[in-house]
Structure 1
Amino acid sequence: MGRTALVVGGARGIGLATAHELIKDGHRVAVTYRDSKPPTDIVSVQCDVRNTASVDAAFAHVEREIGAVEIVVVAAGVTRDKLLMRMGEEDFTDVLDTNLTAAFRAAKRASRAMLRARWGRLVFISSAVAMRGEAGQANYAASKAGLVGLARSLTRELGSRSITANVVAPGYTETDMTASLTEEQREHMRSQIPLGRAAQPEEIAAAVSYLASDKAAYVSGAIIPVDGGAGMGH
């Protein structure tokens, strides 16, 4: 039997590909979105991940529609790239709130039902940049690195109830977020990848599918890199 899954930030890109993959796996899937509504073939609910009440309302909606959430994938993310000397405090805190604190909000809300059920899967979408760092992305790298500490702490807190918490760290992936890059920027990024190409969102989703499955019952606190080898050594 499939389980109930919620993809936070699942309207496009990696989040949407993950939602489709989980549906293929036989799960009941819902996604949250902020502005751009996802395809109508997926249960969706508008949610501002920066607001605790909005996150709580989104979970309540999903619980009414398809059941208590057993699998949570947090794929919401933004960038505000600037060099340190030009980065305002708001640029830093806004990215951390969306990319990291939102994951805390979702995990805390999801843990209620997971603890009662003595089963759960938490998967956080991080980035290869979290391990390597990148000039102009101090805020983004810090927020994505924070997901590792979050997942590993939750593993220690919740593991005795068969709740796992893991991180998937994609490298350069063909999404709407990277579509705005210049060809020169794309070539620079490809040159740092041993496999010599960008990932497709479906390749990231495949790793999430595994971590959400019963096959990964003994995997927790792990970082799964899906980056073509770009992050080797980290």
Structure 2
Amino acid sequence: MKIDLTGKIALVTGATGQLGRVMVRTLAECGADVVIHYLKNKEMAEALCREVMSLGRKALIVQADITDYNSVMQMKDIVVNSLGAPDIVVDNAVIQYNWTTVLKQPLEDYESQFRSCVMQNVIMAKAFIPYMIEKKYGRFIGINTECSMQNFPTQSAYVAGKRGMDGIFRILAKEVGEHQITVNQVAPGWTISDRDREAGTERSAEYDAKVPLKRRGTDQEIANVVAFLASDLASYITGAYIPVCGGNVMPAI
């Protein structure tokens, strides 16, 4: 048994980011053609495009502001007319900002997290799920975070956005399930990426000590779960929030 995405089209938002780039490679390695979304990093998008094509897959790069309805709809038209309607959508993009306490956090940071964590998923659903409904097939996957369960000081804007995202995903899963579309969330912990490897910061004694597996996860481990949820091996999983954090948070029943 293996993850086989042959013949599927996957779209990854924030594809040039630290986690997104590994998702793109992994989905392509599993056989999918990939739409590589970016906002500013065109150079990385083009490099990823070359990597995907070197695997014998089709690839398309597209620029869009995923918080803007018109921008996403323009992206949709380009994607559908160039490669076809995606079978798999991975909403990975998020706006970065500096964390501080509720009393000190600028109001615009709460607005940015609402736009990138909530509105991105609403707009992407409006753009691409109708095509999934027509096909009676689809995988809609969002990247959440372990922070949604931790609620630590200085996380308020991020957690507010991601918890709002969680509500959208759970309700959407119930609304579109009859069409054989699954809607799931992957919640990474503090993940090792290329940035850490280049800086030599893979280890954190304080963080690692709190994790049951006693280490940070890797970008590849996150991408593996995304690929699983994108596949037919996960055809009966929907509405799930799946932490990929070595047991650092554990949803209870």
TM-score range, shorter chain: over 0.9
- Counterpart in the other structure of 2:95: 78
Matched, 1:205 2:223: yes
Q: Aligned partners of 1:181, 1:32: CA distance in 2, in Å?
A: 26
- Counterpart in the other structure of 1:100: 118
SS of alignment partner, residue 186 of structure 2? strand
Q: Aligned partners of 1:126, 1:58: CA distance in 2, in Å?
A: 23
Q: Aligned partners of 1:179, 1:135: CA distance in 2, in Å?
A: 27
SS of alignment partner, residue 32 of structure 1? strand
Q: Aligned partners of 1:182, 1:83: CA distance in 2, in Å?
A: 29
Could you tell me how far 1:138 is from its partner in structure 2? 0.4
| Counterpart amino acid of residue 92 in structure 1 | Y
Q: Aligned partners of 2:19, 2:74: CA distance in 1, in Å?
A: 23
**Conservation of the 8 A alpha-carbon contact between 1:127 and 1:170:** yes
Alignment counterpart, residue 35 of structure 1, candidates 37, 40, 55: 40
- Counterpart in the other structure of 2:3: none
| Counterpart amino acid of residue 222 in structure 2 | I
Q: Which moved more, 1:218-227 or 1:79-88?
A: 79-88
Q: Aligned partners of 1:130, 1:207: CA distance in 2, in Å?
A: 18
- Counterpart in the other structure of 2:13: 8
Q: Aligned partners of 1:143, 1:176: CA distance in 2, in Å?
A: 25
**Misfit runs of 4+, over 2 Å:** 175-183, 185-192
Alignment counterpart, residue 29 of structure 2, candidates 9, 24, 29: 24
- Counterpart in the other structure of 1:47: 64
| Counterpart amino acid of residue 31 in structure 1 | I
Matched, 1:123 2:141: yes
| Counterpart amino acid of residue 51 in structure 1 | D
Could you tell me how far 1:176 is from its partner in structure 2? 6.5
What TM-score comes out, normalization by structure 2 length? 0.86
Q: Aligned partners of 1:182, 1:28: CA distance in 2, in Å?
A: 33
Q: Which moved more, 1:87-96 or 1:116-125?
A: 87-96
| Counterpart amino acid of residue 13 in structure 2 | V
Could you tell me how far 1:95 is from its partner in structure 2? 1.6
Change (3 A) 1:168 1:60: same
**Conservation of the 8 A alpha-carbon contact between 1:147 and 1:167:** no
Could you tell me how far 1:28 is from its partner in structure 2? 1.0
Aligned residues with identical type, % of pairs: 31
Q: Which moved more, 1:170-179 or 1:7-16?
A: 170-179
Aligned length: 233
Structure 1, residues 98-156: CA drift from partner, whole Å, max 9, x if none?
12211111111111201111111100000000111121010101111222211110111
What TM-score comes out, normalization by structure 1 length? 0.92
SS of alignment partner, residue 225 of structure 1? strand
Cα-Cα RMSD? 2.1
Matched, 1:231 2:249: yes
Alignment map for 1:209-224 (pairs within 5 Å): 209-224=227-242
Gap runs ≥5 in structure 1: none
Gap runs ≥5 in structure 2: 1-5, 51-58
Q: Aligned partners of 2:31, 2:198: CA distance in 1, in Å?
A: 34
| Counterpart amino acid of residue 238 in structure 2 | S
Q: Aligned partners of 1:27, 1:6: CA distance in 2, in Å?
A: 10
Change (3 A) 1:186 1:47: farther
Change (3 A) 1:193 1:181: farther
Structure 1, residues 52-71: CA drift from partner, whole Å, max 9, x if none?
11111112111122111111
